[in-house]
Amino acid sequence: MEIIDKKELAPGIVQFLVDAPLIAKKAEPGHFIILRHKENGERIPLTIADFDREQGTITLVCQGIGKSTKEINQMKKGDAFLDLLGPLGTPYPINKLGTVICVAGGLGVAPLYPKAKALHQAGNRVLSLIGAQRKEMLIMTEEMAAVSDEVRYSTDDGSFGHHGFVTALLQQALSEEKVSEIVAVGPVPMMAATVKVAKEFNVPIVVSLNALMIDGTGMCGGCRVTVGGKTKFCCVDGPAFDGALVNFEELLLRQRYYHEQEKEACHRCRLEEAGK
């Protein structure tokens, strides 16, 4: 559970290389972990962004948004997480399909990377479409390039690649060639928009959801999401689901549920910092 290496990938986004031999041994693309960084801390789910069974390490990427994730990103090489549970969830199925488009928005590159890597290794043509707010927020570009046959970028402000949303890249790619499957990971509105495009072109799409959860082991039911009209649990049934069936409106509302408390916690931690 010791942090072997730490790297800032973009402002507020940190990559950790963590010593976790048991988890590395069982990890597959699509798996996630839950960690607590300190006593009194929250249980934070993070997707396994990469794993090395021989070295016994896993890679985690954390964006400092709330109090806990900001504190996690303050941790240093040599520090250790208090608890690390995993691998959790159902692995993403890897098959040789032909051409697969991997779509990532923002931090979604991290969870997408192991899937792209496995799909590429399985002999698929992998076309990666990566969107971010601006150039400096693009992460893991070298890694994605290494496991993709082609990578295209978009930024909201036009500072790199296509000026606009990643969905425009998807629209273009789908009109250019026959695609067997799309895999999309990113913020909920981005995944919802991506699914809309996939439906227009009638291409199957798998999304990886990051619902709120506590135990991550099929006990609390906090991560429930409606898929095809049925209640599913992200932690055991997912986190990957058929995008065409996911109720994104509901998911978006559920994700915003604790925003007020998040703000309070952050506000308090800033006050504490100021008081020091």
Partner 1 sequence: MQARGGGKMRQQMPKQDPEIRWRNFDEVALGFTVEQAQAEADRCLKCKKPMCVQGCPVEIEIPNFIALLAAGQPEAALAKIKEKNSLPAICGRVCPQENQCEKLCVLGKKGEPIAIGALERYCADWGRKEETEAKSTPQETAAKGKVAVVGSGPAGLTAAADLSLMGYKVTLFESLHAPGGVLRYGIPEFRLPKAIVDYEVGNLVKMGVEIKKSCLIGQTLTIDDLFSQDYQAVFIGTGAGLPHFLGIPGENLNSVYSANEFLTRVNLMKAYLFPEYDTPIRIGKRVAVIGAGNVAMDSARTALRLGAEKVIIVYRRSREEMPARLEEIENAEEEGVVFHLLTNPLQLLGDESGNVKTMVCQQMSLGEPDASGRRRPVPILDSEVSFPVDTVVVAIGQGPNPILLKGTAGLNLNKWGYIEVDPETLMTSIPGVFAGGDIVTGAATVIAAMGAGKKAARAIGNYLASKK
Contact set with partner 1 (CB under 8 A): 22-23, 26, 36, 40-43, 67-68, 82-88, 214-215, 217-222, 224-226, 231, 233, 236, 250, 253-254, 256-258, 260-262, 264-265, 268
For residues 5 and 78, what is the distance between their CA atoms, to the nearest angstrom?
Answer: 8
Q: For the CB of residue 187, give the shortest distance to partner 1 in the complex, in Å.
A: 17
Return the exposure string of 17-48: e unless at least 16 CB atoms fall within 10 Å of the residue's CB, then b.
bbbbeebbeebbbbbbbbbbbeeebbebbbbb
Q: For the CB of residue 245, give the shortest distance to partner 1 in the complex, in Å.
A: 14
Please report how many Cα atoms fall inside a 13 Å half-sphere around the Cα of residue 99, on the Cβ side. 12
Q: For the CB of residue 107, give the shortest distance to partner 1 in the complex, in Å.
A: 20
Q: For the CB of residue 10, give the shortest distance to partner 1 in the complex, in Å.
A: 24
For residues 166 and 245, what is the distance between their CA atoms, to the nearest angstrom?
Answer: 21
Which CB atom, from 203 or from 251, has the smaller least distance to partner 1? 251
Q: For the CB of residue 161, give the shortest distance to partner 1 in the complex, in Å.
A: 34
Q: For the CB of residue 203, give the shortest distance to partner 1 in the complex, in Å.
A: 28
Which CB atom, from 180 or from 247, has the smaller least distance to partner 1? 247
Tokens (6 digits) for 230? 């049925």
Backbone angles phi, psi at 192, to 5 degrees: -60, -45
Task: Kindly report the number of other CB atoms within 10 A of residue 230's CB atom.
Answer: 9
Which CB atom, from 143 or from 237, has the smaller least distance to partner 1? 237
Q: For the CB of residue 218, give the shortest distance to partner 1 in the complex, in Å.
A: 5
Q: What is the CA radius of gyration of the chain?
A: 18
Which CB atom, from 36 or from 162, has the smaller least distance to partner 1? 36
Which CB atom, from 81 or from 153, has the smaller least distance to partner 1? 81
Helix or strand or coil: residue 214? coil
Which CB atom, from 22 or from 146, has the smaller least distance to partner 1? 22
Q: Report helix, strand and coil shares of the chain as percent, to nearest 5.
A: 35, 30, 35
Angle between helices 166-176 and 188-200 (to 10 degrees): 20
For residues 184 and 249, what is the distance between their CA atoms, to the nearest angstrom?
Answer: 17
Q: For the CB of residue 234, give the shortest distance to partner 1 in the complex, in Å.
A: 12
Q: Output the CA–CA distances (angstroms, integers) from residue 243 to 68, 104, 105, 165, 229, in the order listed.
A: 29, 14, 15, 19, 13
Which CB atom, from 191 or from 225, has the smaller least distance to partner 1? 225
Task: Kindly report the number of other CB atoms within 10 A of residue 111's CB atom.
Answer: 26
Which CB atom, from 121 or from 231, has the smaller least distance to partner 1? 231
